[in-house]
Amino acid sequence: MLSSLFSGTSGVKANMNSMSVIGNNLSNMNTIGFKGSRVSFNDLMSQNLSSLSGSNQLGLGVMTGSIDPVFSQGGVESTSSATDMAIEGDGFFVVKNGAGSTYYTRAGQFSFDKSGLLVDPSQNVLQGYLADSAGNIGSATSDIQLDFAPVQPRSSTAIDMVANLDSNSDVSGFVFELGVNDTIDITLDPLGAATQYSASLITDDGLVEGQAYTGEEVAAAIKTALEAKAPGTKFSVAYTPITGTFNITSDTTNVDLELNWSTSNIADTLGFTAVDSGLIAGGVMDSSDVTAGNFDVGNPVQTSNFSTAVTVYDSLGNPHQVSVYFRKSDIAATGNTWEWFAVVEGEDSTNAVTEIQAQGTLDFSTGGALNSESAITYNTTSGGFEFAGGPTQGQVISFDFGNSITEGSDGLTGVTQYSEDSFVFQQNQDGYPVGTLQRTFVDKDGVVMGIYSNGISRALAQVAMADFTNAQGLEKVGGNLFAESNSSGTALVGTASTGGLGLIHSSSLELSTVDIAEEFVKMITAQRGFQANSRVITTTDEILNELVNLKR
């Protein structure tokens, strides 16, 4: 009879333990990363009443078998802190306290302290893998601590451009200098009396030295200058913009015309060959080659068809604006040729004058695609860009207009030449100034990224994660922390998304896994169990009381 009393007592005790677990679960229903526990009961060994067989065994009550944490996935809520982290899947964050002891947690409420350490509310430091100054992540675990050193500037080494150059652009923009490229020589042969004439477009027609003129203006100037030198002889000078050619004809049918390009210093500017034409019968036209013209840094807009500007950086991180001018220079049956000129203004140039510091040519196919780019010519003594302000001179910057750009998802493939207005779709350069750390965020792989004032993002560290062969064997030590035990096995440390470890959600926290409805049901069950076992005790007590009263 006494055994029933002790069985009831064990039941009361076991159900009180269950109530304690339920109470602890419910008290932590709002605890970040909390994993609820469950109780399992075991019966106590039995007493054999009459034999060694199991048919006459009498149970001796119940005992608490185990209290195990349930590592199910908790819900995830969004937060406003980029350093809050939630794990989706298996794994734990690894932290160390001030004494150097290692613990594990699912509570990802972290923030940076005044020393740049990434800590939880109890000042335990999150562990991970630090990155070097280039953003390369190391292999040894340590405290995650921000490096507040500024990002060193990077001098620009390459410019990539995606653009279209209008195939209908005229070859225009002609600049003349007295005695350099302003004189045209001809020979007129009326009735066998050949006479040579030399006309200057500056002194004989009044064009302004150093000013840029259109092809039509140059054609009119040639006509006026020649007729002033050869009175009574009429000339027809025409300019064809789409082909960029000049055509000169003597309208006097009884006067033969010879264009003396070998002595004329205007030949290269107008695109004529330097070979004398020989006598051309009156009324017969002599046409120039495709106009060469010249880009004039003093008249860049008038002597180019299109321009864009890009900011580059020198070795000290100083920004400099480089203006890139494009000029249609040759029209041929096999495709057009464009020249480009990289101009640095006087305030940015070491020589303190506006100058062309680099140039090249672009050859297009008849289909508008870029066939080839010429090698870059640097017009400086150092063989590269020379910027003012004391940086390294001879800064080599490559220009990639698409001949080596691979097609991206947006379909852009560099510089083209189609019948559409000239326009830059995209241009990039790889330099940047010095930058200071502005903010951080964590990606799904646990990489802590730093965003700097110069727009550069760089890996600072990667969060370490751990998992165990038997996570239920971990020992709870309070503060949302678990400690390794013999039952859990040794921690298997890695990074998110590897080796079966879960993903990391930034600006998120994992909620408690406690289900209120489920806990209330368990509470009712435990209460009923407690009441039933209490009834066993009181009933047994009444029977014992009757037994004592038998002597009366």
CATH number at residue 326: 2.60.98
Which pLDDT value is given to residue 405?
A: 44
Which pLDDT value is given to residue 312?
A: 97
Q: Are residues 127 and 198 in the same domain?
A: no
Q: Are residues 253 and 181 in the same domain?
A: yes
**524, 505 in Cβ contact below 8 A?**
no
Q: Cα angle at 505 between 501 and 507, to 5 degrees?
A: 150
**201, 225 in Cβ contact below 8 A?**
yes
Query: Is 8 or 263 the better-scoring residue by pLDDT?
Result: 263
Model confidence at 203: pLDDT above 50:
yes
**What is the distance between the alpha carbons of residues 55 and 78, in angstroms, rounded to a whole number?**
59
Q: Are residues 163 and 311 in the same domain?
A: yes
Q: CA separation (Å) from 264 to 130, 176, 304, 330, 496?
A: 71, 13, 25, 21, 76
- Which of the four pLDDT bands, split at 50, 70 and 90, describes residue 408? very low
DSSP code per residue over 12-68: HHHHHHHHHHHHHHHHTTTSTT---EEEEEEEPPPEESSSSSGGGEE---EEEEEEE
- What predicted TM-score, i.e. pTM, was given to this entire model? 0.69
DSSP E strands, 260-305: 285-287
* Secondary structure percentages of the chain, helix, strand, coil, to 5: 15, 40, 45
Q: Is residue 296 part of a domain?
A: no
Model confidence at 296: pLDDT above 60:
yes
Residue 386's H or E segment, with its range, is none
Average pLDDT, the chain: 87
Q: Are residues 346 and 259 in the same domain?
A: no
Q: How many domains in the chain?
A: 4
- Which of the four pLDDT bands, split at 50, 70 and 90, describes residue 449? very high
Model confidence at 436: pLDDT above 50:
yes
Mean pLDDT of the region 425-436: 92
For 62-85, the pLDDT digits (tens) are 888 788 888 889 999 999 999 999
Q: Are residues 397 and 334 in the same domain?
A: yes
Q: Report the share of the chain in percent with pLDDT over 70.
A: 94
Q: 245 pairs with which residues across the strands?
A: 240
Which pLDDT value is given to residue 274?
A: 78
Q: Is residue 297 part of a domain?
A: no
Query: Is 243 or 201 the better-scoring residue by pLDDT?
Result: 201
Q: How many CB atoms lie under 10 A from the CB of residue 284?
A: 13
Nearest C-alpha neighbor of 199 from the set 231, 226, 224 = 226
Which pLDDT value is given to residue 148?
A: 84
**What is the distance between the alpha carbons of residues 246 and 270, in angstroms, rounded to a whole number?**
7
DSSP 157: -
Residue recorded with tokens 């406003």 = 80
Which pLDDT value is given to residue 403?
A: 53
Q: 339 pairs with which residues across the strands?
A: 327, 361
Q: Is residue 409 part of a domain?
A: yes
Classify residue 438 as exposed, middle or buried by CB count within 10 Å of its CB (0-12, 13-18, 19+): exposed
Q: How many CB atoms lie under 10 A from the CB of residue 494?
A: 16
Mean pLDDT of the region 42-66: 70
Q: Are residues 56 and 125 in the same domain?
A: no
Phi, psi for residue 476 in degrees, rounded to 5: -75, 130
Q: Are residues 503 and 517 in the same domain?
A: no
Q: Is residue 117 part of a domain?
A: yes
Which pLDDT value is given to residue 444?
A: 92
Nearest C-alpha neighbor of 468 from the set 201, 63, 104 = 104
**What is the distance between the alpha carbons of residues 42 and 22, in angstroms, rounded to a whole number?**
18
**199, 183 in Cβ contact below 8 A?**
yes
Biggest CA–CA distance in the chain, Å, is 172
Nearest C-alpha neighbor of 293 from the set 367, 243, 254, 250 = 243
**250, 233 in Cβ contact below 8 A?**
yes
Q: Is residue 99 part of a domain?
A: yes
**Amino acid (1-letter code) at residue 70:** V
Which pLDDT value is given to residue 407?
A: 44
- Which of the four pLDDT bands, split at 50, 70 and 90, describes residue 47? low
Q: What is the 3-state secondary structure (H, E, C) of 441-503?
A: EECCCCEEEEEECCCCEEEEEEEEEEECCCHHHCEEEECCEEECCCCCCCCEEEECCCCCCCE
Mean pLDDT of the region 397-420: 72
Specify which of 269-273, 279-283, 370-374 reaches the highest per-range mean pLDDT.
370-374
Q: Cα angle at 266 between 260 and 270, to 5 degrees?
A: 105
Model confidence at 411: pLDDT above 60:
no
Query: Is 461 or 276 the better-scoring residue by pLDDT?
Result: 461
Q: Are residues 443 and 386 in the same domain?
A: no
Mean pLDDT of the region 103-114: 94
Question: Pseudo-torsion of CA 394, 400, 405, 411, nearest 10°?
Answer: 140
DSSP 512: P
**What is the distance between the alpha carbons of residues 65 and 14, in angstroms, rounded to a whole number?**
9
Q: Are residues 333 and 231 in the same domain?
A: no
Q: Is residue 216 part of a domain?
A: yes
Mean pLDDT of the region 170-187: 87
Which pLDDT value is given to residue 410?
A: 47
Q: Is residue 80 part of a domain?
A: no
Which pLDDT value is given to residue 56?
A: 67
Q: Are residues 478 and 376 in the same domain?
A: no
The boundaries of the domain holding residue 477 are: 88-147+438-510
Model confidence at 114: pLDDT above 80:
yes
| 506 three-class SS | strand
Q: Are residues 414 and 485 in the same domain?
A: no
Q: Are residues 323 and 405 in the same domain?
A: yes
Which pLDDT value is given to residue 413?
A: 65
- Which of the four pLDDT bands, split at 50, 70 and 90, describes residue 191? low
**296, 260 in Cβ contact below 8 A?**
no
Query: Is 352 or 52 the better-scoring residue by pLDDT?
Result: 352
Among the candidates 379, 409, 429, a domain finishes at 429
Which pLDDT value is given to residue 55?
A: 63
> Exposure string (b/e) for 73-102, b if CB count within 10 Å is 16 or more?
ebeeeebeebbbbbbbebbbbbbbbeeeeb
Q: Is residue 178 part of a domain?
A: yes
